[in-house]
Amino acid sequence: MGQTVHNLGSIEPPNGAAAEAARVRRLLQDVTDPEIPVLTIGDLGLIRDIAVQGDFVTVTITPTYSGCPAMLTIEIDIRDRLLRAGFTEVRVETVLAPAWTTDWLSEDGRRKLRDYGIAPPAKGADAAGKAALFGEGPKVACPLCGAADTERVSEFGSTACKALYRCRSCAEMFDYFKCI
């Protein structure tokens, strides 16, 4: 009989299933986003569920947005990693609900973005509200010098999930990981 480990559920799996799911999670801990290679799929909160039945594993993921071109590469990387670890069959399923949100980004992921020169998504009142209704961007601190005096140059940066900003203090351009 197969055992399922639900990442989002409240059902406690038997120890064997929990151990196997934990092993799968460890194997996937350094699978990165090809568009932002400092972020792992764990940092992004993409893994929604892991089900293990003997040598068969299903990993359920949620894309950052439905048109994200990086998802195919991420799926291939997940399959490759688990097949090399000895699983005989690996299935990667994509679910769109609940929709991914930047709230799922880990604190470590936010730090990695900042260290990489990308401003992490705003939280709380800065993430949405009236400013979003009127096309104003959130208040974004420069990840390079920390100054708050920045301006949005373009709604799109190096990828669709980022906007391009300029720091008025250090005059550097930087990407901002948009709130979703």
Nearest Cα to 177, choosing from 98, 78, 88, 111? 111
> What pLDDT score does 159 carry?
84
Domain that holds residue 135: 106-177
pTM of the model: 0.79
Residue 101 lies in a domain: no
In terms of domains, do 58 and 135 share one? no
Verify cis geometry, omega within 30 degrees of 0, for the bond prior to 120: no
> What pLDDT score does 2 carry?
40
Number of domains in the chain: 2
Q: What is the pLDDT along the chain (180 residues), one digit of tens a residue?
A: 344 344 444 344 456 778 889 999 999 999 999 999 999 999 999 999 999 998 899 999 999 988 888 999 999 999 999 999 999 999 999 999 999 999 999 999 999 999 999 999 987 545 554 455 556 667 899 999 999 999 999 988 888 889 999 999 999 999 999 887
CB 16 within 8 A of CB 23: no
> What pLDDT score does 10 carry?
39
In terms of domains, do 48 and 110 share one? no
Other residues' Cβ atoms within 10 Å of the Cβ of residue 104: 17
Residue 99 lies in a domain: no
In terms of domains, do 17 and 76 share one? yes
In terms of domains, do 24 and 58 share one? yes
Nearest Cα to 60, choosing from 11, 96, 85? 96
In terms of domains, do 130 and 159 share one? yes
The residue among 94, 129, 150 that closes a domain is 94
Assign residue 82 the CATH number of its domain: 3.30.300.130
In terms of domains, do 126 and 69 share one? no
The residue among 43, 60, 94 that closes a domain is 94
Nearest Cα to 23, choosing from 60, 63, 61, 50? 50
Please report, in angstroms and rounded to a whole number, the separation of the first and last CA atoms in the chain. Answer: 39
> What pLDDT score does 122 carry?
83
In terms of domains, do 74 and 120 share one? no
Residue 64 lies in a domain: yes
Residue 100 lies in a domain: no
Measured between alpha carbons, how far is 115 from 25 in angstroms, rounded to an integer? 25
Length of the chain, in residues: 180
Strand (E) positions, the chain?
A: 3-5, 47-53, 56-61, 89-94, 118-119, 150-154, 162-167, 173-177
In terms of domains, do 56 and 81 share one? yes
In terms of domains, do 154 and 71 share one? no
Name residue 51's beta-bridge partners: 4, 58
CB 138 within 8 A of CB 127: yes
Cα 164 vs. chain centroid, distance in angstroms?
A: 19
